[in-house]
């Protein structure tokens, strides 16, 4: 069937339109933009940590129920899954948004700034949507409303997946995409393909970026337990200092990246994000704990790095009279965009953003548990611009000053609506 017949939306950005798009669906998106922005502000002002998204889930489920969708709640603790059946038979396509926030204290002047406080890993902290999940949630709620008003254009079924704990469940708990899959998010009925997006603070509003194949890294969480021998701080020779050993281990880990990893193949990262040890300035403690992450895009490099970290931590600790072990937890696998699905759907993105505004990007060492869905069914994950025009120093994700523009969300609603409609009609 001719591509021009299939495309069903209209462009909001300044790029060149690659086809004539459906005026009625376009009008629905125009009418819902303010709603999407208001939802986003509400979620931003009331963020909730992983596996604790109770208020968020209630707001989502109430909206989907009001639209007349078939709604399942409490999937993977606080997740919501809803079905929209079109007027025509066909396959099942899933659209996913993550709904959790981060233990970050917000530092900006937004009128909807978060003032929420919580405890995370026994530490009091602010809670903030410092990665844009509030926008993802609001956009997918908008897509659900738009498509539910145009069931005559749906050739099959659209499944909406609102997923908690993308940032990782609390220690000792299950959660995120793995648990969503285990509890049937990709079945009842079986999903044929899945799409997702992530807003990006360093990508200009109106722009979409993507990469076929491996696009985001596998993520490991590690905990290094260092054991020494406690003593008085005035006589360090009578003990074994686990803080000194920890410093040597951290320094050694970086040589695995700089001197042992073939970085000409793919990027790799080792980061220690938390160190805990001691209670008083003049006491050398008995132990220390390091918590961090490893990011890899190549399976062989992943094996090498983890193996060398295990050996290096133990050997360095032994050299200074102590001991060390590492506990590993896999948080994501490589986010792999199915090449056939990607090439099939890029024209849909070009139709809503303009061909010049849909750009191929390089792989990133960020991680996404959307990757677990892609292990089960073909998936396509792309990046949406959230940076204001003229901004030359955007704040990174996961930082207190992180900010994305409301104006970027309309294109996200368009893009998700477009790929869902086109996939179902093409297949």
CA–CA separation, 372 vs 377, rounded Å?
A: 9
Catalytic residue among 100, 145, 298, 422: 100
Q: Tell me: the pLDDT tens digits for 352-374? A: 999 999 999 999 999 999 999 99
Domains of the chain and CATH, by start: 3-215+334-426 (3.40.630.10), 229-321 (3.30.70.360)
pTM: 0.88
**Which of 10, 7, 25 has its CA nearest to residue 152?**
25
Residue 22, pLDDT score: 78
Residue 204, pLDDT score: 97
Residue 100 annotated to the active site:
yes
**Which of 17, 114, 117 has its CA nearest to residue 358?**
17
- Number of Cβ within a 10 Å radius of residue 88: 13
For residue 309, give the H/E element and its range. Answer: helix 299-319
Q: Tell me: the pLDDT tens digits for 109-166? A: 999 999 999 999 889 999 999 999 999 999 999 999 999 999 999 999 999 999 999 9
Which residues are 295's β-sheet partners? Answer: 219, 269
Q: Which residue has the tokens 């020494």?
A: 228
Catalytic residue among 22, 98, 166, 192: 166
CA–CA separation, 321 vs 238, rounded Å?
A: 11
Asked whether residue 269 carries a pLDDT value surpassing 50, the answer given is yes
Q: Label residue 165 left, alpha or beta by phi (over 0 means left) and psi (-120 to 50 means alpha).
A: left
HEC-encoded secondary structure of 121-164: CCEEEECECCCCHHHHHHHHHHHHHHHHCCHHHCEEEEEEEEEC
Side-chain half-sphere exposure of 155, counting CA atoms within 13 A: 12
């Amino acid at each position: 069937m001719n591509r021009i017949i299939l495309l069903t939306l209209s462009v909001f950005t300044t790029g060149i339109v690659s086809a004539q798009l459906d005026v009625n669906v376009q009008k629905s998106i125009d009418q819902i933009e303010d709603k999407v922005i208001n939802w986003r502000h509400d979620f931003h002002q009331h963020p909730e940590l992983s596996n604790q998204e109770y208020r968020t889930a209630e707001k989502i489920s109430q909206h989907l129920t009001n639209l007349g969708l078939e709604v399942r709640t409490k999937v993977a603790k606080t997740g919501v899954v809803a079905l929209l059946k079109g007027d025509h038979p066909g396959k099942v396509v899933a659209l996913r948004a993550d709904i959790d926030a981060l233990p970050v204290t917000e530092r900006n002047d937004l009128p909807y700034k978060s003032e929420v406080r919580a405890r995370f890993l026994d530490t009091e902290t602010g809670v903030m949507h410092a990665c844009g999940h509030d926008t993802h949630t609001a956009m997918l709620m908008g897509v659900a409303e738009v498509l539910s008003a145009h069931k005559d254009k749906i050739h099959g079924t659209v499944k909406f997946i609102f997923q908690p704990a993308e940032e990782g469940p609390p220690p000792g708990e299950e959660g995120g995409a793995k648990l969503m899959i285990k509890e049937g998010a990709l079945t009842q009925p079986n999903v044929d393909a899945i799409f997702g997006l992530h807003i990006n603070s360093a990508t200009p509003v109106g722009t979409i970026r993507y990469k076929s194949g491996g696009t985001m890294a596998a993520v490991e969480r590690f905990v290094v337990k260092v054991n020494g021998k406690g003593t008085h701080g005035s006589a360090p020779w009578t003990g074994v200092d686990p803080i000194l050993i920890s410093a040597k281990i951290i320094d050694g880990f970086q040589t695995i990246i700089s001197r042992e990893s073939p970085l000409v193949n793919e990027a790799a990262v080792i980061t220690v994000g938390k160190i805990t040890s001691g209670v008083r300035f003049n006491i050398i403690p008995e132990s220390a704990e390091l918590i961090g992450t490893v990011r890899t895009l190549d399976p062989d490099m992943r094996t090498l790095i983890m193996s060398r970290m295990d050996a290096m931590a133990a050997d360095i600790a032994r050299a200074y009279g102590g001991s060390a072990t590492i506990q590993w937890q896999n948080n994501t696998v490589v986010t792999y965009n199915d090449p056939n699905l990607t090439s099939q759907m890029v024209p849909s993105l070009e139709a809503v953003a303009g061909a010049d505004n849909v750009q191929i990007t390089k792989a990133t060492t960020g991680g996404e548990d959307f990757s677990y869905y892609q292990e089960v069914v073909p998936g396509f994950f792309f990046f949406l611009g959230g940076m204001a025009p003229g901004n030359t120093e955007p704040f990174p994700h996961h930082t207190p000053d992180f900010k994305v523009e409301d104006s970027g969300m309309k294109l996200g609603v368009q893009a998700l609506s477009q790929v869902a409609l086109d996939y179902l009609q093409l297949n």
